Copies of this chain bind each other. A is one copy, B any other.
Amino acid sequence: MVWDAWGVPAGHQPLSAQIRGLLTQVFGISGEPAARRDEGDVPLVASTLTASTRADLAALVGAEHVSTDDIDRLRHAGGKSTLDLLRRRDTRPQDAPDAIVAPADHNAVLAVLRYCSAHGIAVVPFGGGTSVVGGVDPVRGRFPTVIALDLRRLDTLTDVDAVSGTATLGAGLTGPQAEKLLAAHGLSLGHFPQSFEFATIGGFAATRSSGQASAGYGRFDDMVQRLVVATPRGTLDLGRAPASAAGPDLRELFVGSEGTLGVITSVTVRVHPIPETTAYQAWSFPDFATGAAALRTVVQTGAAPTVLRLSDEAETGLNLARSSDIGGAPVSGCLAVTTFEGTAAHVAARSAEASELLSSAGGTALGTAPAEQWEHGRFAAPYLRDALLDVGVLCETLETATSWSNLANLKAKVTAALSDSLTGQGTPALVMCHISHTYPTGASLYFTVVAKQLEDPIAQWRVAKTAAGDAIMAAGATITHHHAVGADHRPWMGAEVGDLGVQVLRAVKHELDPAGVLNPGKLVP
């Protein structure tokens, strides 16, 4: 992962003529991309790691796995939110962890946590570094030193149970690494969030990630069967059965704990045979309300496809602009994408049932091409954001979820909050939205916002983000459906779970991390 943008250099592309034309037309932006800095030229605040601490950590994980190299530190200096990427453009010395420590296995993680707890060293667990909520910011809290605990060496598939459809994966495996190991057994996890190419199994669990095929395979929290967690107080090994009535489900405390309660070192997940068949079908709906009602009918009837998405009019229009670049057919109204995976018989039965429902609910079948195009480009959006940031456009996303009956209200309120807060700063905004995760009782809303950058785009976005977050909570929705809390959503956690809920979280944290060294400044208010 490059230090100041998404992904790998090969993924970066200049803006198309179509997009540049749109930016000139809407925002009056026609500038050339800003030059990027080489990571070797970036000044960092000095590491505070002492020689004795370094030696102690080296004794636990091996000397070659404790790094204070500045390029290493820069690459662990935070995640990939727009705020993160804007901060990287600052020419002052960048904040970074004081060292990168990469333990080999669970026991080494445990040893590092015990050492750091005893010696007052903050620990930021680090997987793929793809957080978009400040979840891996190198925050010291009240400690003089902060390390990034890089989990990349926990990269093994330790168990496969093809009969039960489960696999035990190391926390440090990236999405593609995990899929490759599983494919050797004819299996797939089917978890494809936009961060799939870089994010890790441990990160998926620690953030309650949800992938684009969630309608078919569930959220990552649904997939988790068993978790092994290292804490300063010892190990937790949770999950003895597919389902249990043995008290509170403690797995659900650690799924979503974002490194504040412990470090997830391995996850036993539900997997499935690599699908025999995949069918694609795109749909057009006259408007978002009609499309949302159609998706609702499909999910509530028990006929959900594997992927089920609906873009609103604005996003469909931008898709139109982008897809016409690559020869796609124009789509009017609102575009919906469905895919169906599984055995041939299952795909045939399910797609027939869902298609009949979508058609009856006002959908017009568009054939397979727009759905295949969506799948082809589904990991590319963050690269587009980089290209936009480079020419002076502010681009960020945020997401939430609510009940079906509150969906239109929530969409209107968040759209207004984003538009008004940016327009109020003199920068008219494009706000687009889609539904990408559906449930019998409701759905997620994912917003993309584009505006011209002001001189201080960080301050500019903070105003908009605060307005959107407040609007989400006022509308009774959740502050995050799948991006997690990190530092950026922490101000709303009190509203999310109530004062007493926060006290419960603090009590659990105090029990497992009495020194408070685990991921300071994240999640728990």
* Chain A residues with a Cβ under 8 A of chain B: 161, 163-166, 207-210, 216, 219, 221, 225, 231, 233-238, 240-258, 261, 270, 272, 296, 300-303, 342-343, 345-346, 349-350, 352-353, 356, 400-406, 437, 439-444, 476-485, 489, 492-493, 496-501, 503-505, 507-508, 510-512, 523-524
Q: Are B508 and A504 in contact (CB under 8 A)?
A: yes
Residue numbers in B under 8 Å from A256 (CB-CB): 245-249
6 pairs, CB–CB < 8 Å, chain A vs chain B: A240-B402, A243-B437, A244-B478, A245-B481, A246-B484, A253-B253
Q: Are A405 and B161 in contact (CB under 8 A)?
A: yes
Given the known A-B contacts A352-B349, A501-B238, are A247 and B523 also in contact in the complex, defined by CB atoms under 8 Å? yes
Q: Which of B209, B243, B244, B402 lies in contact with A241, CB distance below 8 A? A: B402
Q: Are B350 and A302 in contact (CB under 8 A)?
A: yes
Given the known A-B contacts A301-B346, A345-B353, are A243 and B258 also in contact in the complex, defined by CB atoms under 8 Å? no
Q: Which of B244, B442, B477, B507 lies in contact with A208, CB distance below 8 A? A: B244
Going nearest first, the 5 A-B pairs with the smallest beta carbon separation are A252-B252, A242-B439, A241-B478, A208-B245, A507-B511
Closest B residue to A251 by CB, please name it: B252
Residue numbers in B under 8 Å from A437 (CB-CB): 243
Q: Are A507 and B505 in contact (CB under 8 A)?
A: no
Residue numbers in B under 8 Å from A258 (CB-CB): 247
Q: Are B511 and A403 in contact (CB under 8 A)?
A: no
Q: Are A248 and B253 in contact (CB under 8 A)?
A: yes
Q: Which of B165, B252, B441 lies in contact with A225, CB distance below 8 A? A: B441
A182 to chain B, nearest CB (A): 15
Provide the bound-state CA to CA distance between A236 and B498, in Å: 7
Provide the bound-state CA to CA distance between A300 and B271, in Å: 10
Q: Which of B240, B257, B510 lies in contact with A247, CB distance below 8 A? A: B257
Provide the bound-state CA to CA distance between A219 and B243, in Å: 9
Seed contacts A164-B441, A164-B442, A208-B244; 6 additional CB < 8 Å A-B pairs: A236-B498, A245-B256, A246-B480, A247-B497, A349-B350, A349-B352
Q: Which of B219, B345, B442, B510 lies in contact with A507, CB distance below 8 A? A: B510
Residue numbers in B under 8 Å from A252 (CB-CB): 248-249, 251-253
Closest B residue to A164 by CB, please name it: B403
Q: Are B249 and A255 in contact (CB under 8 A)?
A: yes
Provide the bound-state CA to CA distance between A511 and B499, in Å: 12
Residue numbers in B under 8 Å from A166 (CB-CB): 403, 441
Q: Are A255 and B244 in contact (CB under 8 A)?
A: no
Residue numbers in B under 8 Å from A523 (CB-CB): 247
A240 to chain B, nearest CB (A): 5
Q: Which of B253, B405, B479 lies in contact with A164, CB distance below 8 A? A: B405
Q: Are B496 and A504 in contact (CB under 8 A)?
A: no
A405 to chain B, nearest CB (A): 4
The CB with the most chain B CB atoms within 10 A, among A161, A246, A405, A479, is that of A246
Q: Are B248 and A165 in contact (CB under 8 A)?
A: no
Residue numbers in B under 8 Å from A254 (CB-CB): 248
A250 to chain B, nearest CB (A): 5
Provide the bound-state CA to CA distance between A138 and B225, in Å: 35
Residue numbers in B under 8 Å from A480 (CB-CB): 244-246
Q: Which of B245, B257, B343, B496 lies in contact with A209, CB distance below 8 A? A: B245
Q: Are B210 and A504 in contact (CB under 8 A)?
A: no
Q: Are B161 and A240 in contact (CB under 8 A)?
A: no
Closest B residue to A245 by CB, please name it: B208
Provide the bound-state CA to CA distance between A443 and B479, in Å: 35
Residue numbers in B under 8 Å from A238 (CB-CB): 497-498, 501
Provide the bound-state CA to CA distance between A437 and B242, in Å: 10
Q: Are A349 and B345 in contact (CB under 8 A)?
A: no
Residue numbers in B under 8 Å from A346 (CB-CB): 301-303, 353
A44 to chain B, nearest CB (A): 31
Provide the bound-state CA to CA distance between A480 and B497, in Å: 29
Q: Which of B246, B250, B493, B503 lies in contact with A246, CB distance below 8 A? A: B493
Q: Are B243 and A210 in contact (CB under 8 A)?
A: yes
Q: Which of B246, B303, B403, B505 lies in contact with A248, CB distance below 8 A? A: B505
A469 to chain B, nearest CB (A): 11
A169 to chain B, nearest CB (A): 14
A404 to chain B, nearest CB (A): 4
The CB with the most chain B CB atoms within 10 A, among A233, A240, A524, is that of A240
Provide the bound-state CA to CA distance between A406 and B244, in Å: 15
